[in-house]
């Protein structure tokens, strides 16, 4: 049996690791992971890569070595189509940065295919956004932002050295969800460290961050009390928070709102919502929802093809809310983690000729971290069946634990312990900010 998993992200890498250990190593199946990149960074950390708090080169997991250690194989490749009758997927030509072809377009056969290719930012077709704003969908984009941020700070420091004229760097972030909120706070931490590491003319008043949200409040997934507390905390840091503000156009150096207000910007980040990649709209005739997510059965097999599974942000899975209303399972790391566990079980059940299980989403709450300053969140279940608002150190601990759980799923106990230890050591020996 050949199992092909496309996408080595929050869900796909956990699945490949678990199937590699349980089936691949025992010779019960060939497990192949395909990804368009060579390394994995847990996506909720991308805003830290963007601000320079996290060094993607040092903290990423290399797919090839990880595959070798865990009983599966890895190939680099970008999925672009499928022939369901022949059971083959199509991979685009692989080119280097100069556009030179490394590998031609290829096909890869499968018995079971798992799609775990995540999501991309949704610009909702708003004019100029894809041309002028940076998205935080991949390590490459996060690094691009980090480089531009560093260059802007260097230029600002030089200008401030030359004259006392009013020089300010404006960063505008659209989207008041976790990504926008967390990135806003990270930028203030970055400013502090740039000043410490030699860009000494840059003072707090020289960085202006504006956060724009179309809805009436930040973090709609969290309750109003937490959303209000985060709003206040961001304003205390110096972020200009603009809710009920709809962006209608992006220009080279500004965002324009429905009311005609212009937000002048040196850097613009778009984090206002996600959709699954556009090519899924025409992927072997499979059904998708408005966010391009492949519709799945409760077993997480896509509707109309029992040999294909979808999980994580690219899967359109319906759940029943507390109010009895049907809604989509949210595109979050914990959803990808839970779906990867179920797909893993179901593929092992197929190998053992057992019936398949159905997916039930458990909401363990939401957490948002304002860099090293503080964290807020809501934890569900546990001792009580209700929810518990947490903030400060407890919330920060719970936030970090989410990442540790992902590391546990891919590295096991011993390695996670060692990685945690080495993270602690690195805190002392590495600079607090990536400066190159």
Ligand X SMILES: Cc1cc2nc3c(=O)[nH]c(=O)nc-3n(C[C@H](O)[C@H](O)[C@H](O)COP(=O)(O)OP(=O)(O)OC[C@H]3O[C@@H](n4cnc5c(N)ncnc54)[C@H](O)[C@@H]3O)c2cc1C
- Smallest gap from residue 251 Cβ to ligand X (A): 24
Residue where the block lists tokens 């992902």: 406
Q: Whose CB is nearest to ligand X?
A: 9
Say whether residue 31 binds ligand X (CB under 6 A).
no
Q: Does 275 bind ligand X (CB under 6 A)?
A: no
Neighbours of 116 (CB within 10 A): 30
Q: How many residues bind ligand X (CB under 6 A)?
A: 32
Beta partners for 242?
A: 212
Query: Partners of 81 in the beta sheet?
Result: 90
CB of 140 to ligand X, least distance (A): 10
79 binds ligand X (CB under 6 A): yes
186 or 231: CB nearest ligand X? 186
Please tell me whether residue 319 adopts helix, strand or coil conformation. strand
C-beta of residue 209 within 8 angstroms of C-beta of residue 235: no
All residues at 6 or more sequence positions from 406 whose CB lies less than 8 Å from its CB, including other chains: 10, 14, 42, 333, 337
Q: Looking only at residues 335 through 364 of this chain, which bind ligand X when binding is defined by CB under 6 A?
A: 336
Q: How far is the CB of 205 from ligand X (least distance, A)?
A: 27
For ligand X, give the closer residue by CB, 146 or 179.
179
Under rule CB under 6 A, residue 116 binds ligand X: yes
Beta-bridge mates of residue 294: 288, 315
Element (H, E) at 207: strand 207-212
- Piece of the chain touching ligand X by CB under 6 A; list 1-9, 123-131, 203-211, 238-246: 1-9
State the Cα torsion 399-405-411-412 to the nearest 10°: 140
CB 241 → ligand X: shortest distance, Å?
18
Q: Footprint of ligand X on residues 160-189 (CB under 6 A)?
A: 178-179
d(CA 387, CA 322): 13
Which residue in 7, 52, 175, 344 binds ligand X (CB under 6 A)? 7
Residues in the site for ligand X, rule: CB under 6 A? 6-12, 34-37, 40, 43-44, 46-47, 78-79, 116-118, 136, 178-179, 277, 312-313, 331-334, 336
């Amino acid at each position: 049996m050949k199992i092909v998993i496309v996408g080595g992200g929050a869900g796909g890498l956990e699945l490949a690791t678990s199937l590699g250990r349980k089936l691949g190593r025992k010779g019960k199946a060939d497990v192949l992971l395909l990804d368009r990149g060579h390394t994995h960074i847990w996506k909720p950390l991308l805003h830290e890569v963007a601000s320079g708090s996290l060094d993607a080169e040092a903290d990423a997991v290399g797919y090839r070595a990880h595959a070798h250690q865990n009983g599966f194989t890895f190939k680099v490749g970008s999925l672009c189509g499928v022939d369901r009758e022949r059971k083959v997927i199509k991979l685009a030509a692989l080119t280097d940065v100069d556009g030179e072809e490394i590998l031609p377009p290829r096909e890869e056969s499968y018995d079971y295919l798992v799609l775990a290719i995540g999501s991309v930012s949704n610009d909702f077709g708003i004019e100029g956004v894809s041309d002028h704003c940076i998205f935080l969908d991949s390590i490459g984009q996060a690094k691009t932002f980090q480089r531009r941020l560093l260059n802007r700070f260097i230029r600002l420091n030089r200008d401030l050295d030359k004259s006392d004229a009013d020089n300010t760097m404006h960063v505008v972030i659209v989207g008041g969800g976790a990504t926008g909120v967390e990135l806003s706070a990270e930028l203030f931490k970055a400013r502090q460290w740039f000043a410490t590491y030699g860009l000494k003319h840059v003072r707090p008043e020289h960085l202006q961050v504006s956060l724009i949200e179309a809805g009436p409040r930040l973090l709609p997934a969290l309750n109003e009390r937490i959303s209000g507390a985060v709003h206040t905390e961001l304003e205390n840091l110096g972020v200009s928070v603009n809710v009920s503000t709809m962006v209608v156009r992006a220009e080279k150096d500004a965002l324009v709102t429905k009311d005609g207000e212009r937000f002048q910007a040196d850097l613009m980040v778009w984090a206002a919502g996600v959709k699954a990649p556009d090519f899924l709209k025409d992927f072997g005739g499979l059904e998708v929802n408005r966010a391009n997510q492949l519709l799945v059965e409760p077993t997480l097999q896509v509707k109309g093809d029992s040999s294909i599974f979808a999980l994580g942000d690219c899967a359109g899975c319906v759940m029943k809310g507390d109010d009895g209303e049907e809604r989509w399972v949210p595109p979050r790391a914990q959803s990808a983690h839970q779906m990867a566990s179920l797909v893993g079980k179901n593929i092992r059940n197929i190998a053992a000729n057992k019936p398949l299980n159905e997916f039930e989403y458990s909401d363990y709450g939401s957490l948002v971290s304002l860099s090293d300053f503080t964290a807020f969140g809501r934890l569900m279940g546990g001792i009580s069946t209700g929810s518990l608002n947490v903030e400060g150190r407890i919330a920060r601990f719970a936030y970090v634990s989410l990442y540790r759980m992902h590391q546990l799923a891919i590295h096991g106990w011993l390695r996670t312990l060692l990685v945690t230890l080495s993270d602690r050591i690195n805190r002392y020996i590495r600079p607090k900010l990536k400066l190159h």
